């Protein structure tokens, strides 16, 4: 079965990384979702891709790490998407965990570049344990040292290794890392059949990002991809 992830929720239908976006993905029947986590000034886990909220609210010019959670919850990120969502705010990880069925595979990306969040790995794993959500989960990051820290805290968690650029023999790099890599998450632009086959031969799932056209998705399915990250409901609800 090809497993496709709703990327930041259903972000074409509601503001990304907000509860309405995740709720819509759940209502579509998605089997997997992806989200990014960062830390606020008071060390709360906030679900956001960008290190600033300026893209959603022009007055929010500071870095997420410079705001407390209470301050972030005063920032409207919905009105710029559609007036229907006026007053909507970025989600906390706790809020997402409360609405996300445990049957949905949850990919949590530690957004640790270029801002480095000291101790985010421990805080994240503590929160997941608190919500009894250490199963049916993948922890991913472009920061492979963050993945190492996750493994040191909990060696049993599946890890997803993210790659933005091509590197030589990605599958060998993953194998030599000594990490408990479950899946490789490459930028889809450099993924071909050989890449997928070589990764799978080493025992890794391949989940490219971000695949938003049906033509490209169908091509990757022909290459026997294990799944993709997508903003497109027709793709992330495909079986």
The catalytic residues are 7, 49
Return d(Cα 127, Cα 134) in angstroms, integer.
Answer: 9
Return d(Cα 179, Cα 160) in angstroms, integer.
Answer: 10
Residues with Cβ within 8 Å of 56's Cβ and at least 6 positions away in sequence, in order, are: 15, 75, 77, 78, 80, 81
Return d(Cα 17, Cα 37) in angstroms, integer.
Answer: 10
Helix H, strand E, coil C: the string for the chain is CCCCEEECCCCCCCCCCCHHHHHHHHHCCCCEEEEEEEECCCCCEEECCCCECCCCCCCCCCEHHHCCHHHHCCCCCCCCCCHHHCCCCCCEHHHHHHHCCCCCEEEEEECCCCCCCCCHHHHHHHHHHHCCCCCCEEEEECCHHHHHHHHHHCCCCCEEEEECCCCCCHHHHHHHCCCCEEEEEEEHHHCCHHHHHHHHHCCCEECCECCCCHHHHHHHHHCCCCCCEECCHHHHCCC
């Amino acid at each position: 079965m090809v497993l496709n992830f709703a990327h930041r929720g259903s972000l074409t239908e509601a503001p990304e990384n907000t509860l309405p976006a995740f709720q819509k993905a759940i209502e579509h029947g998605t089997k997997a979702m992806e989200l990014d986590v960062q830390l606020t000034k008071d060390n709360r886990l906030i679900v956001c891709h960008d290190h600033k909220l300026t893209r959603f609210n022009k007055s929010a010019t500071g870095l997420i790490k410079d705001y407390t959670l209470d301050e972030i919850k005063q920032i409207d990120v919905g009105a710029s998407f559609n007036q229907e969502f006026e007053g909507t705010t970025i989600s906390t990880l706790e809020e997402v965990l409360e609405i996300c069925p445990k049957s949905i595979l949850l990919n949590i990306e530690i957004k640790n570049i270029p801002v480095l969040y000291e101790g985010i790995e421990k805080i994240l794993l503590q929160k997941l344990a608190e919500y009894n959500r250490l199963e049916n989960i993948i922890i991913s990051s472009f920061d492979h040292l963050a993945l190492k820290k996750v493994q040191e805290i909990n060696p049993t968690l599946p890890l997803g290794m993210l790659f933005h650029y091509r590197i030589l023999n990605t599958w060998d790099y993953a194998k030599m890392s000594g990490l408990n890599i479950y899946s490789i998450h490459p930028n889809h632009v450099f993924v071909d059949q050989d890449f997928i086959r070589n990764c799978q031969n080493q025992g890794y799932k391949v989940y490219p990002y971000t695949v938003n056209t049906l033509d490209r998705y169908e091509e990757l399915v022909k290459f026997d991809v294990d799944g993709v990250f997508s903003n497109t409901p027709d793709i992330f609800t495909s079986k």
